Structure 1
Amino acid sequence: MTLTAEPVNSVVSHDDTAGVFDRADYLRDYPHEQVSFFQDPASGLKAIVAIHSTTLGPALGGTRFYPYSDESAAVTDVLRLSRGMTYKAAVAGVDLGGGKAVIIGDPATAKTDELLGAYAKFVQTLGGRYITAGDVGTNSNDLDIIGRNTDFVVGRNATVGGSGDSAPMTALGVFQSMRAAAQSHWGTPSLAGKTVGVEGTGKVGYELIKLLLADGATVLATDVNAAALDRVKADFPQVSIVDSIIDADLDVYAPCAMGATLTDTTARSIKAEVVCGAANNQLTVPEVENILRDRGITWTPDYVANGGGLIQVAGELKGNSAEEVKLKVEKIFDTVTEIFAKSKKDGILAGEAADAVAEARIAEAARVAKG
């Protein structure tokens, strides 16, 4: 196997005259500790690992296997996601930092045992600064394969000592966040009688639908993946399948696919009164939340809502039982409630309130480390 690093400037710089540290987006505005580019020509692997912060502990984040349009799109995604993991870990109260990895390619055609093995060996070279897990395009079976060549992986199947698929706990965290948002917006946490649109019916979206139906919600769903929708149709015939969710008549919009669905335009046209979902980086820019707030729409900060999976794998590292993990995930309801209360008390956006909570914990950890 050949281990090589991609030339960084050729991949990430939008300005050929600018060095990588002067890049006018995430590397400059949101500095990262380390960004590593890995390539294995034999297996076709092209991967990027971004470590945003290890202040609270080793950086943990899933591996996203996705057919990005180009390498620049992959870089932007991994930098945004890794920063989000730092804040997610801080708000969740776990002793982990933020990291993320992306593998460029279509998992349906490019994913092989050889490629996953090559990727695992690259993760091992980072010496534990980054711990990987599952994400879009990867699952517990893939993590089992990765675990053959690195010690730094969580979320493997229980049969090999892991905690299994994190989708159910991620969905539970989103559900509890949605209940907290409903409490803040309507005065009751119950979603009975509410119409919820789930955009993305993959692993997490599917589990969320199950919880919503059990709570008495009416559910609409959509996905670009026909197989995912077929599963929903077969298992939940009461769910209405629609072509588009974001512009539907909803009480709650639940983005559970890729991020950046809330733009300046969609934020002005969305009909839902509450937005809460599993997708990362739902806002194209933070200022979009201003539009939602001015329209009376309650948005739940995404990295708080989708923290259940992180809590699960953090529990795996600590040896927590499944019941202990579930209880911690259910407390996301309290965390979201506290963030909404801080937002109202301080007269700031919910996203700003969540950031303040995360940054305070990170700053305290840094202060203690300095002595």
Structure 2
Amino acid sequence: MFEHEQVVIRTGARSGRPVIIALHSTALGPALGGCRLAVYPHWTDGLTDALRLSAAMTGKCAVAGLPNGGGKTVVPLPAGPFDRRAVLLDVGDAIEDLGGRYGTGPDVGTGTDDMLVIGERTRHVACRPTSAGGSGDSSTQTAAGVVAALHALCAAVFGSPDLAGRRFAVVGLGRVGADVARRLAAAGATLVLSDVDPARRHVADALGAALVAPGDALAADVDVLVPAALGGVLTPGSVPLLRCRAIAGPANNQLDADATADLLHARGIVWVPDHVVSAGGVAYAAAVELHGETPAQATARVEGIGGTVRSLLDASARAGVTPLAAAHDLAAQRLRSARAA
């Protein structure tokens, strides 16, 4: 059954590129979701990504307690050069035409400066540079939320929220993954790090950590696996290779399919859904830029991810279901209440 409220697919007047906006739900309030610029085998693969990612954003906002629904912008790019400014202005026009039902921020392929360009055409944009009055790079707050989640996860699985002496494998050393790794190192954790880009070796070197191939990191003998790159790493093929006790990370769509959560559960591996773990950035930006909260109030929302993880893991244990099922139940309850109201 098609569950999205609206899907916009239009050719950008300046760029000639397809601009896709998937509006999954506005039951809780205006939808939020990042703007992704990426190369796809075919533009319809970008549409598939937008549909899936926007649905995940609805769950992320609902579980985080935000008064927002989920959406996503995807612009499938050519393999070669493209006019970046033209694409971003086209995105801004498409968002503005939705009349405030959807706002965007950075995602794969975009950053804070890009939000300034989109902001030339619409005010429904967050994470602009702090020098321009925005909340800045959301990756810092995303990383803070991940660490809050890891404290709660360790408390549930190992009996203590302390990260010191625990072994973590961080797969992906982009802005969020590298920040998480630094925070873990500062907390006294032992790290195994990985990234497909050899240029990220400097992150491992600075932390005195081992840098291994992504496949080796997934199968590393660690306490907690932290997926922080692109999604789809947890599959029926990779789950039997895992040697961790728990998994929590900011990478979107870590499971190839929801059924894989059952495979993890059967192996006794506690997996916290990625849309719960990665909510810090959107929670902070939305609170400050869209809802007028103070930085202190927004920071409290980010730190509250730890409490959300504790509640989900408690509910999961009580009902004997996966944390994913518990997260789906919580999101569904909040959406039903909003629709009833």
> What is the TM-score when the length of structure 1 is the normalising length?
0.87
Cα displacement (A) at 1:109: 4.0
Cα offsets for 1:246-293 (capped at 9, x unmatched): 122222111111111100111121111110000111111111111111
Match of 1:336 in 2: 309
Among residues 128, 135, 139, which one is paired with 2:100 in the alignment?
128
Q: Is the 8 A contact 2:280 2:302 kept in 1?
A: yes
Residues 257, 279 of structure 1: 8 Å contact kept: yes
Change in 2 beyond 3 A, CA 1:289/1:140: same
1:164 has 2:140 as partner: no
Matched, 1:53 2:25: yes
Which residue is equivalent to 1:243? 213
Please give the alpha-carbon distance, in whole angstroms, between the structure 2 residues aligned to 1:151 and 1:270. 45
**1:221 and 2:178 equivalent?**
no
Tell me the residue number matched to 1:119. 91
After TM superposition, give the deviation of residue 42 of structure 1 in Å.
4.2
Measured in 2, the distance between the counterparts of 1:237 and 1:304 equals 27
Q: Give the aligned length.
A: 338
Question: Per-residue displacement from partner, 1:324-354 (whole Å, max 9, x unpaired)?
Answer: 2112211111110011111111121111111
Aligned to 1:84: 56
Gaps of 5+ in 1: 1-27
CA distance in 2, matches of 1:38, 1:216: 50
1:16-165 matches, within 5 Å, as 28=1, 31-40=3-12, 42-105=14-77, 109-110=81-82, 112-165=84-137
TM-score by length of 2: 0.95
Aligned match of 2:326 in 348, 353, 367?
A: 353
> Deviations 1:18-48 (Å, cap 9, x if unpaired)?
xxxxxxxxxx2x5101111122264243221
How far apart are 1:322 and its partner, in Å?
2.1
Q: Deviations over 1:109-139 (max 9, x none)?
A: 4352222112211211111111011111111
Residue pair 1:45, 1:119 contacting (<8 A) in 2 also: no
Q: How does 1:303-318 map to 2 (within 5 A)?
A: 303-316=275-288, 317-318=290-291
- How far does residue 237 in structure 1 lie from its aligned partner after superposition? 3.9
TM-aligned CA distance change 1:150 to 1:50, over 3 Å: same
Which amino acid in the other structure matches residue 223 of structure 2?
D
Q: Which runs of 5+ in 2 are unaligned?
A: none
Q: Distance in 2 between matches of 1:69 and 1:271?
A: 33
In structure 2, relative to structure 1, the CA distance for the partners of 1:214 and 1:362 (3 Å cut) is same
Q: 1:225 deviation in Å?
A: 2.9
In the alignment, residue 319 of structure 1 is paired with which amino acid?
Answer: G
Q: For 1:271 and 1:343, how far apart are their aligned partners in 2? A: 22
2: CA distance, partners of 1:174 / 1:108 = 34
Q: Distance in 1 between matches of 2:82 and 2:218?
A: 31
Give the Cα separation in 1 of the matches to 2:120 and 2:202: 31
- What is the letter of the counterpart of residue 83 of structure 1? A
Q: What is the identity, as a one-letter code, of the residue corresponding to 1:364?
A: S
What is the CA–CA distance in structure 1 between the aligned matches of 2:130 and 2:57, rounded to whole Å? 24
Amino acid corresponding to residue 294 of structure 1 in structure 2: A
Q: CA, structure 1 residues 136+122, in 2 after alignment: closer, same or farther (shift >3 Å)?
A: same
Matched, 1:252 2:252: no
Residues in 2 aligned to 1:108 and 1:312: alpha-carbon distance in whole angstroms: 35
| Identical amino acids, percent of aligned pairs | 37
Corresponding position: 1:173 with 2:163: no
Aligned with 2:34: secondary structure? strand
- What CA distance in whole angstroms lies between the structure 2 residues aligned with 1:212 and 1:106? 37
Counterpart CA distance in 1 for 2:294 and 2:197 is 34
The answer to whether the Cα contact below 8 Å between 1:85 and 1:98 also exists between their aligned partners in 2 is yes
d(CA) in 1 for partners of 2:301 and 2:156? Answer: 21
Kindly provide the amino acid, as one letter, of the partner of residue 47 in structure 2: V
Q: 1:169 touches 1:308 (CA, 8 Å); kept in 2?
A: yes
What residue number does 1:232 align with?
203
Task: Quote the offset at 1:230 in angstroms.
Answer: 4.1
Cα distance in 2 for residues equivalent to 1:101 and 1:123: 9
| Alpha-carbon shift at residue 303 of structure 1 (Å) | 0.8
